[in-house]
């Protein structure tokens, strides 16, 4: 896991080097820059596989040079295949495997990779830069193409020095405040900086300065009829394989443990392979509604875990808030990421460099309550479904019917929703701006809705975990994000995801023997909860952020109402924009 930065036709070496320093947290073990004609490639290394200096980057081989952020988990299997084809290797790194794979299979080599990546290969012979980002967009990549200059980097902050002015994207800020939109596909909240799409390659011609994107992978939403027993067996094998691949490391591994289903499945599986592995959990003082201590303690006691408890409190939040906003690059919609940030902070203190985490399970196995409405619509004429629904979900009937109706009239709902939020948010009338997403659109079945959420919503959570973990120089790995697991989950019919009153039914059923019964069949969902309402009403917190709100030119330009109830989730979004503006010294701009 590392940080990368590259430029074409922008040969200010001092500026390039200073920009590389801005992402040194992603790779504190080594920093290097490669220069070739009008091209600069920079790399900051977090050593995980093959810790020797011969695996530092940029890595050169024949006419190829690579800078790579991520991990190719199945590099050993690919290396074995290449060895049989006559290739020889100088290192034990997955980086060299990428280069040799590119030599053997060209740009299609990415189809063989199981992992997370954002990399650029300079092919001197073909006079191109070949860039690629992994299937789900686990690893970040951003770019600028302006005035004949092309730049790319792992984080937005590394690109900002190359812009004459740091200007906020006004439309995206309004989308964020109204809809909570944070990953609007190509656009970012900085004008002229764009998101490199997941599942895509790019070929950049270094002579003509023209580039072209190619999509190399597409998820499909399809219902394959499979028995519950078959589904359990296949799912267990896939999860086990995914975890085994993600345990490949030459450095210390730790685990994030909450009281929920997903992390408990991972922790229970990993513990059978490595009983000495350490686990880390976020807790709070005197708040039974969000604390997960009881469930965590059950797992700790059952497995005999080497456990760390991390206290997240208002004093720590006040101390760290500017740094967290800075590390995230763009505004975020909940203070819940602070708990995650604290967990990684404790991992770093304990010498952990790789963490196994539970992201992605809710989006592929239907873990959120809102998915019930899609299942309702999908089974509208199914009497057996309605008998089960009324037995288990009767108390949610009104809520689910409302969501079902919304899915039938998405455009109308979106406009009404915007107008209601806008009246609360702004002191002056704002032109209607569509969310630009499919989140409010109707879907005829659950898997199509899940596919949409994997494409449009999961990237937000991936950004949170990437910035939080890498701010502490820790590589986060998500077993549920293995593309094989995702493909399989999106092929399972809805009756295996919602059954007997439980979401994520097939996941719970598959691992009920390895996780405490009271946890695996617990319907309560918390994630990384924090007492956000309490914190936003705290006197010291309000004192801390008061100056940001008062001096914000962006909020003034947008006409934002600063008298919103502090317990309203919108309040934090407003505060976030004000802190973000000050931390990055941003000006307001039009689209």
The DSSP string of 66-80 is: EEEEEEETTHHHHHH
Report the pLDDT value the prediction gives residue 528, as an integer from 0 to 100.
57
- On whether both 344 and 209 belong to a single domain, the answer is no
- On whether both 172 and 51 belong to a single domain, the answer is yes
Domain carrying residue 95? 2-215
The CA distance from 281 to 311, in Å, is 9
- On whether both 247 and 155 belong to a single domain, the answer is no
In a domain, 384, yes or no: no
Residue 91 has pLDDT above 80, yes or no: yes
Q: Residues 193-243: pLDDT tens digits?
A: 999 999 999 999 999 999 999 999 999 888 888 999 999 999 999 999 999
- On whether both 96 and 20 belong to a single domain, the answer is yes
The CA distance from 68 to 45, in Å, is 9
The percent of residues above 70 in pLDDT, for the chain, comes to: 96
Report the pLDDT value the prediction gives residue 433, as an integer from 0 to 100.
76
User: Under DSSP, is residue 254 helix (H, G, I), strand (E, B) or coil?
Assistant: strand
Residue 418 — left, alpha, or beta (φ > 0 → left; ψ -120 to 50 → alpha)? alpha
Q: How confident is the model at residue 369 (pLDDT cuts 50, 70, 90)?
A: confident
- On whether both 183 and 310 belong to a single domain, the answer is no
- Among residues 488, 512, 530, which one ends one of the domains? 530
Report the pLDDT value the prediction gives residue 287, as an integer from 0 to 100.
58
CATH number at residue 141: 3.60.20.10
| pTM strictly above 0.85 | yes
- On whether both 192 and 331 belong to a single domain, the answer is no
- On whether both 147 and 253 belong to a single domain, the answer is no
Report the pLDDT value the prediction gives residue 441, as an integer from 0 to 100.
61
- On whether both 180 and 243 belong to a single domain, the answer is no
In a domain, 166, yes or no: yes
CATH number at residue 347: 3.40.50.620
Report the pLDDT value the prediction gives residue 379, as an integer from 0 to 100.
86
Structure-block tokens of residue 118: 């954002």
In a domain, 479, yes or no: yes
In a domain, 180, yes or no: yes
The CA distance from 114 to 360, in Å, is 16
Average confidence score pLDDT of the chain: 92
Report the pLDDT value the prediction gives residue 291, as an integer from 0 to 100.
63
Phi, psi of 533 (to 5 degrees): -60, -45
317-331, 434-448, 534-548: lowest mean pLDDT where?
434-448
575 contacts 155 by C-beta, under 8 angstroms: no
- On whether both 286 and 332 belong to a single domain, the answer is yes
The CA distance from 512 to 461, in Å, is 26
In a domain, 55, yes or no: yes
In a domain, 581, yes or no: yes
- On whether both 313 and 347 belong to a single domain, the answer is yes
Q: Which residue has the higher pLDDT, 51 or 439?
A: 51
- Among residues 167, 188, 215, which one ends one of the domains? 215
Structure-block tokens of residue 539: 């006197």
In a domain, 451, yes or no: no
- On whether both 489 and 352 belong to a single domain, the answer is yes
- Among residues 484, 505, 530, which one ends one of the domains? 530
- On whether both 53 and 66 belong to a single domain, the answer is yes
Q: Is it true that the peptide bond before 198 is cis, omega within 30 degrees of 0? A: no
In a domain, 394, yes or no: no
How many domains are contained in the chain?
Answer: 3
Q: What is the mean pLDDT of residues 311-335?
A: 95
Report the pLDDT value the prediction gives residue 348, as an integer from 0 to 100.
98
């Amino acid at each position: 896991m590392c940080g990368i930065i590259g430029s074409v036709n922008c040969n200010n070496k001092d500026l390039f080097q200073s920009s590389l320093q801005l992402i040194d947290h992603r790779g504190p073990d080594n920093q290097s820059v490669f220069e070739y004609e009008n091209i600069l490639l920079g790399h900051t290394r977090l050593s995980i596989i093959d810790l020797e200096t011969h695996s530092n980057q940029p890595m050169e081989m024949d006419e190829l040079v690579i800078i790579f952020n991520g991990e190719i988990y199945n590099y050993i299997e690919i290396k074995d295949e290449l060895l049989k084809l006559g290739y020889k290797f100088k290192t034990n790194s997955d980086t060299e495997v990428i280069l040799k794979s590119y030599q053997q299979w060209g740009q299609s080599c990415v189809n063989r990779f199981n992992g997370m990546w954002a990399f650029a290969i300079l092919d001197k012979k073909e006079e191109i830069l070949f860039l690629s980002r992994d299937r789900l967009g686990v690893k970040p990549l951003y770019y600028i193409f302006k005035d004949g200059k092309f730049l790319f980097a792992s984080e937005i902050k590394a690109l900002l020095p190359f812009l004459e002015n740091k200007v906020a994207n006004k439309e995206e800020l309004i989308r964020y405040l109204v809809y909570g939109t944070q990953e609007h596909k190509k656009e970012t909240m900085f004008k002229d900086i764009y998101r490199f799409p997941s599942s895509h390659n790019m070929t950049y011609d270094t002579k003509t300065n023209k580039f072209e994107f190619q999509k190399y992978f597409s998820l499909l939403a399809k219902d394959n009829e499979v028995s519950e027993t078959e589904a359990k067996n296949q799912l267990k094998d896939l999860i086990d394989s995914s975890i085994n691949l993600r345990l490949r490391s030459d450095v210390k591994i730790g685990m994030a443990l909450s009281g929920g289903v997903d992390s408990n499945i991972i922790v229970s599986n990993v513990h059978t392979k490595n009983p000495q592995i350490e686990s880390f959990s976020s807790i709070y003082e005197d708040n039974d509604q969000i604390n997960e201590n009881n469930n965590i303690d059950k797992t700790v006691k059952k497995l005999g875990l080497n456990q760390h408890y991390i206290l997240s409190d208002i004093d720590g939040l006040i101390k760290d808030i500017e740094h967290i906003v800075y590390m995230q690059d763009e505004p975020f919609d909940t203070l819940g990421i602070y708990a995650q940030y604290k967990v990684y902070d404790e991992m770093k203190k304990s010498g952990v460099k790789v963490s196994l985490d539970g992201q992605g399970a809710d989006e592929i196995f239907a873990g959120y309550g809102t998915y019930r409405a899609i299942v309702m619509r999908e089974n509208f004429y199914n009497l057996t479904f309605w008998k089960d629904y009324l037995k288990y979900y009767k108390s949610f009937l009104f809520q689910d019917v409302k969501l079902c109706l919304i899915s039938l009239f998405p455009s109308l709902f979106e406009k009404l929703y915007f107008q209601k939020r806008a009246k609360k948010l702004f002191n002056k009338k704002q032109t209607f701006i569509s969310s630009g997403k499919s989140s409010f659109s109707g879907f005829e079945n659950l898997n199509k809705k899940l596919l949409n959420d994997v494409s449009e919503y999961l990237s937000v959570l991936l950004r949170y975990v990437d910035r939080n973990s890498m701010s502490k120089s820790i590589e986060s790995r998500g077993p549920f994000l293995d593309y094989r697991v995702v493909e399989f989950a999106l092929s399972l019919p809805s009756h295996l995801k919602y059954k007997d009153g439980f979401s994520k039914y097939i996941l719970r059923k598959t691992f009920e023997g390895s996780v405490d019964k009271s946890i695996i069949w617990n319907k309560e969902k918390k994630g990384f909860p924090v007492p956000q309402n309490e914190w936003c009403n705290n006197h010291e917190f309000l004192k801390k952020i008061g100056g940001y709100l008062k001096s914000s030119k962006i909020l003034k330009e947008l006409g934002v109402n600063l008298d919103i109830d502090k317990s309203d989730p919108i309040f934090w979004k407003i505060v976030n924009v004000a802190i973000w503006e000050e931390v990055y010294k941003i000006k307001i701009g039009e689209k």
